[in-house]
Chains A and B, each alone.
Chain A
Amino acid sequence: MVELVPTLLRQELARLADDDLRLDGRGRWDGRDVDLQIDCLYNAEGSAKVVMGKTIVYAGVKFEIRTPWPDRPSQGSLMCGAELRPVAHRKYEPGPPSPQSIELGRVVDRGIRESGCIDMESLCIVPGEKVWGVMIDIHVLSDGGNVFDACGLAAIAALRTAVVPAERFDVGEDYTLKVNGTPIMASFTRVGGRYVFDPSEEEELGGDERIHITLGDEGHLHSLQKGLRGVFTPAEFAEIFEVAHQRCSELRKLVATQEGN
């Protein structure tokens, strides 16, 4: 379904931007409140639910035993996929995965994979024969804007709670998956001519291009993505990069707090 982009909404967003305001009253770099629950799904080996405003996302981790790639006989694998299900919004239609959900899954996947938080060697059971395949599936139940950050957060939080079901597969005792780090994504959308953090549904509808930044514990970049039509300047990037650092470390603390409980 094609969403009509209302001219009036664009005008209103531009007018607000002139006074450095946002539709929902937030400051330019303010995120919505984030509610994170971990270990919330029966049957998933690790799970998390993220609620950010009207956005609701679940992530679940499953394991399978597979034969390793011939060129990497002692390495397991990690795969992360996201589904923008038709349940999440009237604009999503059934059918094979849309380019949008493929982009979403792959951006989240890269952030986690490239941060090196999972040591692929640690997923080896019998070299050349058996390794663990770790699958993170993200289910978007409600798209109220900025599903990227919600998915990124749900995915890493779920992964960090995962227990390897070795007993069920008859290869030893269950153990907690070792995850070294908490890569976090921060997303920005150009609204009314300037970037804002954590865009709402209306801001995405009446906004332009978006930038996703995933940062590791040390503040290193692990994935970048620009989506949709538009251009930005290095100065603009420098500005949002600073904000991304702050927001990512706040969200990383939130994950740690939930794990502490």
Chain B
Amino acid sequence: MGGYGDVKLLRDDGLRLDGRKLDEMRPVTIEAGILPAADGSAMVTHGLNVAVAAVYGPMEAHPRKIQRQDRAVIDVRYNMAPFSTSDRIRPGFNRRSREISKVTAEALESVVLVERYPRSKIRVEIEILAAEAGTRCAGITAASVALADAGIPMRDLLVGVASGKVEDIVVLDLDKAEDNYGQADLPVGILPNTGEIAFLQMDGDLSPDEYNLAMEYNFKAAAEIHEIMVDALKRRYEGGEN
């Protein structure tokens, strides 16, 4: 974490700079089936973050050496658009996006019923169009709605959420200032129905108690986002459109 104590992130009334309570999430909207060329797709806005995910497949796995005889492989690409951040990002893969892609793929492989599709590949493309802290979580949420939209069987919908710590206080869903100047960030991918965790990263400094509280916040937020995800998928298939 970049932060040190000199930037004030909590107001005197105990609320956060943007007026949120400690355990309050930024607004989330989700739309499924937004990309006509893809087999499944979704757009997630989480605060000011905008994440788009597309799913292609299952398809034949190429090159052959990536094939698994007993299951499908999930090929995830997390990419930030050059204009998604305050300073332009050079197009192309960097170390950060490679790592996020890898752990996101592994998280999704733990949720998708990959045994159903031996020797095949499922391509998941995550594009971040606007970034304001928490893009990997928005990307995970978008990816799992896109997978569901593509009709790929899963044990549960994977939900990406994060909590962290600012001014020694645990808060849910860090915004950009809190991420830059806060003391810890705990992004996780939660399966709300089973209560399991498929994605976990953390950096900064958290005591065991703080970790427990942060995780409690994460589970609470995951349940809220899960409802929005289910609602997006229902709207997509109940409306009779498309």
Residue positions of A touching B, CB distance < 8 A: 41-44, 47, 54, 56, 58-62, 64, 81, 83, 85-90, 94, 96-97, 135, 137, 139, 141-144, 168, 201
Given A41-B50, A43-B132, A139-B81, residue A54 in contact with residue B37 (CB < 8 A): yes
30 contacts between A and B (CB under 8 A): A41-B83, A41-B130, A42-B48, A43-B83, A43-B86, A44-B130, A54-B37, A56-B35, A56-B36, A60-B129, A64-B88, A81-B82, A81-B91, A85-B79, A87-B38, A88-B37, A89-B37, A90-B56, A90-B59, A94-B77, A135-B82, A137-B82, A137-B91, A139-B81, A141-B35, A141-B52, A142-B36, A142-B37, A143-B37, A144-B37
Given A43-B131, A54-B36, residue A87 in contact with residue B81 (CB < 8 A): no
Q: Contact partner of A87 among B48, B127, B132, CB < 8 A?
A: B127
Interchain pairs with CB closer than 8 A, number: 96
> From residue B90, how far is it (CB to closest CB) to chain A in Å?
10
Q: What are the residues of chain A within 8 A of B83 when measuring CB–CB?
A: 41, 43-44, 47, 59-62, 137, 139
> From residue A211, how far is it (CB to closest CB) to chain B in Å?
24
Q: Is the CB of A62 within 8 A of B127?
A: no
Residue positions of B touching A, CB distance < 8 A: 34-39, 48, 50, 52-54, 56, 59, 77, 79, 81-88, 91-93, 123, 125, 127, 129-132
Given A64-B88, A83-B91, A86-B125, 9 more A-B residue pairs with CB atoms under 8 Å apart are A41-B83, A41-B84, A56-B35, A60-B84, A60-B129, A62-B82, A64-B87, A139-B83, A144-B37
Secondary structure class of chain A's binding surface, majority of residues: mixed
Inter-chain CA distance A94–B79, complex, in Å, is: 11
> From residue A46, how far is it (CB to closest CB) to chain B in Å?
9
Residue with the highest number of chain A CB atoms closer than 10 Å, among B34, B35, B77: B35
